[in-house]
Each structure stands twice: as structure tokens, then as C-alpha cells.
Chain A
């Protein structure tokens, strides 16, 4: 079964540093998403990406965040200057097309800001 791949699985960074989280969506999928989950809380939507641009974003996705699809396979989330409260599990997800509701989530990157 096709999978969404995320790297690294765990990243520890100093407060104020930039981090880039990487995702490889399923190859024929067209819609890509980032979600985050603070420990013990619900899964929260950050941003969706389609046709090389942001299609939707939440209030959480402020100027410190950016997304990019630098090539045909990778989808990245950059946090410019990390804060302690950015510590969370970050999940990438993708869907095939506009008529397919089914999400496939990656296994996540646990970001720890110290």
C-alpha cells in the first residue's frame, strides 16, 4: 500500500533556530497538507497545498511558517524561528484528487524545541 513518508522521525532544535520538515506524498496525489498535534491534544490543521500554492491555511500558520514543493516529490514545512510552543508532532497528509475525501497521513515528525 502506498505511503506518505516523513523525515526526520524526531528532531530536536534550539529555540530560535530554523527547521525544515520533509514529506514525500503518495506519487499520484495532488493535495498536500500539514497538521500538528501537541502532546495529548487534538490534531490541528495548519495548511493545504495544491497546484504549487497554498489553498487554505489556519490561524496557526503565521509568518513563521512556510511550505514548499521544491521538486516533483518533496513537500516541506519550514519554521523560521522556532519557539518552545512549536514542540509537537507534525503530520503530513495527501489526497488523490478533489473528489476523494480520503486522507493518507505520514508517520509524523516529532519536533522538540529546547
Chain B
């Protein structure tokens, strides 16, 4: 099965700084790479995703980059704000409709 690792496990930045979280996966057949944001006590929410035929995708302050050869993808958040503070999970997947296997999460803290 898929083995998913996230680094770092915790990340503290100052407001306005950039944050990068990396997700490494083991299944070379993975072709869908989402990032979920979970605020305390809330549901996971999809914030950005990328398919394997694309190397990078950007949506305002967040972006995801994919390196299929090295089997990792990263979440980039620029100009961080306190409301970006949350736990971020990656969940690479190889087939629509099947289970998402989540990483252990990265706790991002943005201080003002």
C-alpha cells in the first residue's frame, strides 16, 4: 500500500513569510496529489490539488509542485497570514473513488 510521509511535522513562521510542506509517497502509480487544510475541530477541506500530467499549479497565495520522478510534492504558501494556521495533510491517490491515505499532517503556526 501507499506509504506517505510529510515534513516537517510542525512549522512556525512569521506573518508574511513563506511556508513549504513536503509530502513523499511510495506508490509510483499515484496520479492525484491533493492538499487538505484542517482547522481545529473542523473537517478536512481540499485547498489545492494537482494531477500527474502537470508539474505545478497555483491558486492565489497557495501552490503545489510535483516531482513524479522523485515521488514527492510540496505545498507552498506565500505571504502567510494568521488564518493560515492549521494542520495540513497530503493524501496522494492512484485511482478515483478509492481510499485517500493521509499523511500524518503538518501543524503550521503563523504568528503576527
Is B61 an interface position by the 8 A CB rule? no
Q: Which listed residue, B34, B99, B104, touches A56 by the CB 8 Å rule? A: B99
In the complex, which of the residues B38, B43, B89, B103 has the most CB atoms of chain A within 10 Å of its own CB atom? B43
Q: Does A102 contact B (CB under 8 A)?
A: yes
Residues 68-112 of B at the A interface (beta carbon under 8 Å) = 89, 91, 93, 96-105
Whether A101 and B96, one on each chain, are in contact in the complex, defined by CB atoms closer than 8 angstroms, is: yes
Chain A residues numbered 75-112 whose CB sits less than 8 Å from any CB in chain B: 91, 95, 97-103, 105-108
Q: Is the CB of A101 within 8 A of B104?
A: no
Interface size on B, residues (CB 8 A): 23
**Is A101 a contact partner of B32 (Cβ separation < 8 A)?**
yes
B45 proximal to A (CB < 8 A): yes
Asked whether B34 lies within 8 Å of A101 as measured between CB atoms, the reply is: yes
Q: Which residues of B contact A48 (CB under 8 A)?
A: 97-99
B35 to chain A, nearest CB (A): 12
User: B1 CB to closest chain A CB, in angstroms?
Assistant: 9
Are B102 and A91 within 8 A (Cβ)?
Answer: no
Q: Which residues of B contact A42 (CB under 8 A)?
A: 89, 102-105
**Is A65 in contact with chain B by the CB < 8 A criterion?**
no
Whether B49 lies near A102 (C-beta < 8 A) is yes
* Chain B neighbourhood of A35, CB < 8 A: 100
Residues in A with CB closer than 8 Å to B98 are 48, 56
| Chain B residues whose C-beta falls within 8 Å of the C-beta of A106 in the assembled complex | 43
Interface centre among B49, B91, B96, B97 (most CB of A within 10 A): B97
Kindly supply a per-residue 1/0 record for chain A positions 20-34, scoring 1 wherever the CB is within 8 Å of any chain B CB and 0 otherwise.
Answer: 000000000001010
B43 touches A91 (CB 8 A): yes
Give 12 A-B contacts (CB < 8 Å), ordered by A residue. Answer: A31-B97, A42-B102, A43-B36, A43-B38, A45-B101, A50-B97, A91-B44, A97-B97, A98-B96, A100-B96, A105-B43, A106-B43
A interface with B by C-beta (< 8 Å): 31, 33, 35, 41-45, 48, 50, 55-56, 58, 91, 95, 97-103, 105-108
